[in-house]
């Protein structure tokens, strides 16, 4: 008789977006004339940059010609042209990452989940809470012990290591989804020191690095000395260049990241990951890799930065509104997320219903991202300027004392 992975039965049901959809449906049925402004979804809304579309079309044409057609890519790690471009991108903000240490993928979510394959089930996993759900779910699926580090109002939603707690695998996300908080270099150094002391590995999710404009804030964990010995970094073009529907990202595992096997032999983590990917992943399509390469060209950077500036403009409008209203929040400056404290002691769902009923603005209750999210609320800057301005006008009208 087949045996299922019973860990799946223990997974917490993620009702958040289903509950939101249900409440919106009920509200729309009762109020068909009311226009909703959605500020809850973490997907981008602006189209791909023209230079990216041109590169993808040109590559698609190449695929239709015998002489330039491409089948499987030999290495499965990504074409050299793209790995070199990613390495050059890192260099542009002062970080050295060798093209040999980069593997191209079809987005960060899959690698964030799949990386667990190369770690034993006996590891203790540390995850900051609140968190992007894939870190918890993918480890719960293999029955690993998970401990949480609290990100809360007192620490500015930037949990720091506690040497009384042991961990073997540590998930960090900066700029953070959902809280928008960004670790400083000093804070990341503390995590790197903790990881080295515990002989642990950090999985660093930098999916929102492109939103950092403060040059003092690190856009990569490799800006911190010692990270090359203990950290894996996962990034994505989803938010950097609007690739949520195009699918491309990259994972960095430095060749200097060496772990010890139970027989005492030293193993390069990158070799394990290469072996895993070689068995289970067949690479990213050629047109998508050409499109991704275009993102890192000078023209691609110019065009994609315009979209980011637009979203950041929205975030600024939201932050200014909350400042004016005296509402506490994190994020918004170097992040597309604003994480605000619900007024008058409301919990996230009360505030959700209140905003929906009174001003028809939709956000995401923080409760869905973990226990530290209770009483907090996430808004995103990925909407249109017009909607953001209108939503904030309604916010002011409703919430000014
Ligand atoms: N990491 C974080 C923190 C995210 O918020 C997201 C998507 O929202 C991802 C990774 C996944 O991105 P991708 O589209 O590359 O799979």
Q: For residue range 148-207, list pLDDT tens digits in order.
A: 999 999 999 999 999 999 999 999 999 999 999 999 999 999 999 999 999 999 999 999
- Partners of 206 in beta bridges: none
Q: Any bridge partners for residue 197, and if so which?
A: none
CB–CB of 346/362 below 8 Å?
Answer: no
Give the pLDDT score at 401.
67
Q: Is the CB of 109 under 6 A from ligand 1?
A: yes
Q: Which two tokens stand for residue 208?
A: 């929102």
Tokens of 264: 């005492």
Domains 15-44+300-399 and 51-296 share a fold: no
pLDDT averaged over the chain? 96
Q: Reply yes or no on whether the pLDDT at 231 is more than 90.
A: yes
Determine if ligand 1 sits within 6 Å of the CB of residue 207: yes
Query: Tokens 């808004």 belong to which residue?
Result: 379
CA atoms within 13 A on the CB side of 306: 12
Contact 249 CB / ligand 1 (< 6 Å): yes
Residue with tokens 């390469």: 293
Cβ partners under 8 Å of residue 59, min gap 6 = 286, 287, 289, 290, 291
Spacing, Cα 65 to ligand 1 middle (Å): 34
Angstrom distance (rounded) from CA 33 to CA 31 = 6
For atom 5 of ligand 1, which residue has the closest CA?
177
Q: Which of 106, 110, 132 to mutate to test the pocket of ligand 1 (most atoms within 8 A of CB)?
A: 132
- Distance of alpha carbon 378 from alpha carbon 175, whole angstroms: 14
Element (H, E) at 330: strand 329-331
Q: Is the pLDDT of residue 372 over 90?
A: yes
> Percentage of residues in the chain with pLDDT exceeding 90?
95
pLDDT band at 139 (very low <50, low <70, confident <90, very high): very high
Q: In this structure, are strands 231-236 and 124-129 parallel, antiparallel, or unpaired?
A: unpaired
Q: Are 375 and 347 in contact (CB under 8 A)?
A: yes
User: Which pTM does this prediction carry?
Assistant: 0.97
Average pLDDT over residues 33-48: 93
Separation between Cα atoms, residue 66 and residue 262, nearest integer Å: 50
Instruction: Give the pLDDT confidence score for residue 400 in this predicted structure.
Output: 86
CATH code of 51-296, in short, is: 3.40.640.10
Rounded Cα gap, residues 337 and 377, in angstroms: 10
- Residue 180, pLDDT score: 97
The whole-number average pLDDT for the span 389-400 is 95
> Which residues 6+ apart lie within 8 Å of 58 measured at CB?
290
Tell me how far CA of residue 376 lies from CA of 5, 126, 253, 321, in angstroms.
34, 22, 34, 17
pLDDT of 303 higher than 90: yes
8 Å CB contact between 56 and 290: yes
Residue whose CA lies nearest to ligand 1 atom number 15: 107
**Test site for ligand 1: of 40, 207, 364, 381, most ligand atoms within 8 A of the Cβ:** 207
Distance CA 354, CA 45 (A): 26
- Residue 132 Cβ < 6 Å to ligand 1: yes
Q: What are the residue ranges spanned by the domains of the chain?
A: 15-44+300-399, 51-296
pLDDT (mean) for 358-367 = 96
Residue with tokens 């804030």: 217
Q: How many whole angstroms separate alpha carbon 24 and alpha carbon 331?
A: 26
- State pLDDT tens for residues 332-354: 999 999 999 999 999 999 999 99
Q: b vs e for 249-282, b when ≥16 Cβ sit within 10 Å of the residue's Cβ?
A: bbbbbbeebebeeeeeeeeebbebbbeebeeebe
Residues 203-224 have a mean pLDDT of 98
DSSP 142: T
Confidence at residue 230, expressed as pLDDT on a 0 to 100 scale: 98
CATH class of 15-44+300-399: alpha beta
Residue 42: per-residue pLDDT: 86
């Amino acid at each position: 008789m087949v045996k299922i992975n019973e860990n799946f039965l223990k997974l917490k049901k993620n009702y958040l977006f289903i509950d939101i959809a249900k409440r919106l449906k009920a509200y729309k049925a009762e109020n068909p004339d009311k226009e909703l402004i959605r500020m809850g979804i973490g997907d981008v809304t602006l189209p791909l940059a023209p230079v990216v579309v041109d590169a993808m079309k040109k590559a698609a044409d190449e695929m239709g010609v015998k002489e330039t057609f491409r089948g499987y890519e030999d290495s499965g790690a990504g074409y050299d042209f793209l790995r070199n471009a990613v390495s050059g991108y890192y260099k542009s903000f002062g970080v050295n990452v060798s093209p040999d240490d980069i593997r191209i993928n079809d987005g960060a979510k899959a690698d964030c989940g799949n990386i667990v394959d190369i770690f034993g089930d006996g590891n203790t996993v540390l995850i900051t809470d609140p968190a992007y759900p894939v870190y918890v779910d993918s480890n719960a699926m293999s029955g690993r012990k998970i401990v949480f580090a609290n990100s809360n109002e007192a620490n500015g939603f930037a949990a720091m290591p506690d040497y009384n707690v042991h961990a073997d695998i540590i998930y960090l996300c900066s700029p953070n989804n959902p809280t928008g908080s960004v670790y400083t270099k000093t804070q990341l150094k503390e995590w790197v020191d903790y990881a080295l002391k515990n002989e642990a590995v950090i999985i660093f999710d930098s999916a929102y690095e492109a939103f950092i404009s403060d040059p003092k804030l690190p856009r990569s964990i490799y800006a911190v000395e010692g990270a090359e010995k203990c950290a894996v970094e996962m990034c994505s073009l989803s938010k950097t260049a609007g690739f949520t529907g195009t699918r491309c990202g990259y994972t960095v595992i430095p060749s200097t990241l060496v772990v010890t096997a139970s027989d005492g032999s030293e193993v390069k983590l990158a070799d394990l990951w290469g072996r895993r990917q070689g068995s289970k992943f067949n690479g990213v399509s050629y047109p998508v890799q050409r499109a991704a390469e275009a993102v890192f060209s000078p023209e691609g950077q110019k065009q994609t930065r315009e979209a980011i500036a637009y979203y950041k403009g929205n975030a600024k409008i939201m932050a200014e509104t909350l400042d004016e209203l005296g509402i506490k929040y994190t994020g918004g400056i170097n992040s597309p997320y604003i994480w605000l404290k619900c007024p008058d002691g409301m919990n996230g769902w009360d505030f959700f219903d209140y905003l929906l009923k009174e001003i028809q603005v939709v956000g995401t209750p923080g409760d869905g991202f973990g226990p530290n999210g209770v009483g907090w609320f996430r808004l995103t800057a990925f909407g249109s300027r017009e909607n953001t301005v209108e939503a904030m006008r309604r916010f002011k009208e409703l919430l000014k004392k």
